[in-house]
Amino acid sequence: MAPGYEAVRDALAAMAGTDPTYCAQFAAFRGTEPVVDLVCGPWAGDALLPVFSCGKGAIGVTVALLVQRGSIDLDARVADYWPEFAAAGKRDVTVRQMLSHQAGLPTVDGGFTAGELLAHRDLARRLAAQRPFWRPGSAFAYHAVTLGTLADELVRRVAGRTLSQVFGEDIATPRGIDVHLGVPPELDSRVVPVDVPTDEELEKGIAAIPVTEPDSLGAMVAPSDAGPVWTWVNGEEPRRIGPPALGGLATARGLASMYAALGHDVGGERIADADVVAQMSQLQVEGNDLLSGRPFRYAMPFQRPVAPWLAYGSSWAFGHDGLGGSVGVCDPFHDLAFGYTVKRIALPPCCDARALDLMRAVRNVDAR
């Protein structure tokens, strides 16, 4: 930990003092320099934890690299790269719309299985053939799982490799970024499972979770046969394959370093210059999500701040949280990047409020 950030360490210790089950990692970078790297609880700083939708940040970083290389034009039609996608009224859907949850494809007719998600090809084919559930561009709703399949197929079409391969080979490995979309067996000793909510915690937290009828569109956005996602991600098969939208594993330092590498020279080729970062993080849609009814603001596919529950920092901040409470953030205004992982699932499922408090503590140090 860099000198002057002791207040951040004290804030984390105070959180642990009020919850004996609290296990978390928190890291912060100023520019490309780590200033905070803390662990709370009986686990190591290099423990890899399922971080759920924090993986959508890796999707954004990978697409940013391909935009930087000229392989993807955000205003091009998805069908220009993936011709089959033009079916059923989707010919004019742009990459920009698809990445910002506007394409109307949060699921497919009848839902999909975990096997289809993990195998990729069949779900990608069904999404290409699917008629959108709303007119693309007229509304938005979180593509919680399918965004990963859609982005993965786009990357496969332009790069000839999977999104996970491009992220791992061209971004993470050269820069030592400890974020993984698919974990090989040799890293299993570092993997720790998330602690799923107890029945008592679910009972207390259920009031804050929107009720979803079994025949509703919202009930079909996750695999139909996987059970609770927070249990499913602890399994070996999801860990090996690492579906980009919800199956990534990371350390807090890994998440922070991934965001710190945006706009900075780290490990050779720059992932994306300031202009590309600004394009990817620019607000595309805001308002109430068509399915959940909750207020959101989306870039591509990064979240933008929404107070109070996604109060990431300045108006220029962007990032992505995960269902379990983990989160990664870049705040260009302060030149800060953050990563946070937490072992026990936070309820309601969204960014752990303690992560926002720790980010605020870092900004307070820098504001002195």
User: Would you say residue 203 lies in a domain?
Assistant: yes
The per-residue pLDDT for range 67-81, each reduced to its tens digit, is 999 999 999 999 999
Average pLDDT along the chain, 368 residues, taken 10 residues at a time: 94 94 96 96 95 98 97 98 98 98 98 97 98 98 98 98 98 96 98 90 66 80 93 96 97 98 82 96 97 95 95 96 96 97 88 97 85
User: Would you say residue 45 lies in a domain?
Assistant: yes
Degrees, nearest 5: CA angle 310-142-215 = 125
Residue 265 belongs to domain with CATH number: 3.40.710.10
User: Would you say residue 106 lies in a domain?
Assistant: yes
DSSP conformational letter for 38? E
Task: Work out the number of other CB atoms within 10 angstroms of the CB of residue 224.
Answer: 14
Structure tokens at 311: 């109060």
User: Would you say residue 360 lies in a domain?
Assistant: no
User: Would you say residue 27 lies in a domain?
Assistant: no
**Burial status of residue 135 (CB atoms within 10 A of its CB: 0-12, 13-18, 19 or more):** exposed
Q: What are the residues whose beta carbons fall under 8 Å from the beta carbon of 248, sequence distance 6 or more?
A: 50, 51, 52, 54, 55, 58, 179, 180, 181, 242
Query: What DSSP string runs through 295-345?
Result: EEEESSS-B--BTTTB--SSTT-EEEE-TTS-EEEEETTTTEEEEEEESBP
E-assigned strand segments in the chain: 24-30, 33-40, 49-52, 179-180, 248-250, 285-288, 295-298, 318-321, 327-331, 336-342
Task: Work out the number of other CB atoms within 10 angstroms of the CB of residue 292.
Answer: 16
Instruction: State the amino acid at position 128 in one-letter form.
Output: A
Q: Radius of gyration (Cα) for the chain, nearest Å? A: 19
Number of domains into which the chain is organized? 1
Its pTM surpasses 0.95: yes
Residue 297 and residue 305 in contact, taking contact as beta carbons nearer than 8 Å: yes
User: Would you say residue 366 lies in a domain?
Assistant: no
User: Would you say residue 16 lies in a domain?
Assistant: no
User: Would you say residue 359 lies in a domain?
Assistant: no
- What is the per-residue pLDDT for 203? 74
Name the residue range of residue 176's domain: 41-349
The per-residue pLDDT for range 46-58, each reduced to its tens digit, is 999 999 999 999 9
